[in-house]
């Protein structure tokens, strides 16, 4: 049918142009937000403020001094912002921002206790939600950041980026259109999501990490077994 053919041709061209322009909005908006946050910390100085010192950070960041965590998050946010604008090592810096955001949610925006998912979801708010004197959370904004960061972790910065230029210069153009939807790929996906989830909902995160370990271990063993003796 002509309408189906027209639709298929249209979506092919949208995918083609999307490889260039789709990640730009995410990169620039996240860069602005994290540069603003990091630069704001930078102007405070190297000494962590009292509100930051009093935070209970998750392992292993809780083992570090407040000043060290302050230094890492300050420069992590600013360097990642610059990298996102340039599209340089996009996946690495996007994952770094994912870690920073999850740690911030766990320390500042996540309720200390909750009895059900419905009660937990009350904290999906911009302002602090307090019920019966208990803090229920205010993790809406950082959750939106996570949703914006994940596509950059999985898809990268797109063709309008220094990452793409580096691939071209190193003559690895064939990698640009390669997609592998195997067990190893889904193991990596479970690892990324599991690392982000384990600090917020530990049971879910542990399940995802176990699935990841199983998939990665199985595929790794399969590759080893296929090698000639």
pLDDT tens, per residue, the chain with 229 residues: 888 888 888 888 888 888 888 899 999 999 999 999 999 999 998 888 988 888 888 888 888 899 999 999 999 999 999 999 999 999 999 999 999 999 999 988 888 778 788 888 888 888 777 776 777 788 899 999 999 999 999 999 988 899 989 988 888 877 777 778 888 999 999 999 999 899 999 999 999 999 999 999 888 756 655 655 5
CA distance 121 to 127: 13
The H-or-E segment that residue 146 falls in is helix 140-155
Question: What pLDDT is attached to residue 16?
Answer: 83
Q: Is the pTM of this model over 0.85?
A: yes
CB 103 within 8 A of CB 59: no
């Amino acid at each position: 049918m002509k309408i189906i053919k027209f639709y298929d041709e249209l979506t092919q061209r949208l995918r083609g142009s999307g490889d260039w322009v789709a990640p730009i909005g995410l990169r620039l908006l996240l860069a602005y937000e994290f540069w603003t946050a990091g630069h704001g910390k930078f102007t405070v100085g190297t000494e962590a403020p009292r509100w930051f010192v009093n935070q209970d950070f998750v392992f292993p960041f809780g083992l570090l001094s407040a000043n060290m965590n302050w230094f890492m998050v300050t420069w992590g946010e600013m360097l990642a912002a610059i990298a996102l604008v340039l599209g340089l090592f996009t996946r690495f810096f996007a994952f770094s921002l994912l870690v920073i955001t999850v740690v911030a949610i766990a320390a500042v925006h996540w309720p200390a206790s909750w009895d059900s998912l419905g009660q937990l979801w009350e904290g999906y708010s911009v302002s602090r939600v307090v019920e019966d004197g208990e803090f229920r959370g205010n993790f809406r904004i950082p959750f939106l950041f996570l949703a914006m960061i994940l596509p950059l972790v999985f898809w990268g910065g797109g063709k309008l980026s220094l990452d793409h230029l580096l691939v071209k210069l190193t003559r690895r153009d064939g990698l640009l259109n390669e997609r592998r939807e195997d067990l190893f790929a889904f193991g990596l996906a479970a690892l990324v999501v599991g690392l982000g989830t384990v600090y917020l909902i530990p049971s879910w995160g542990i399940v995802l990490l176990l699935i990841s370990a199983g998939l990665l271990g199985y595929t790794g063993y399969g590759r080893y077994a296929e090698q000639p003796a």
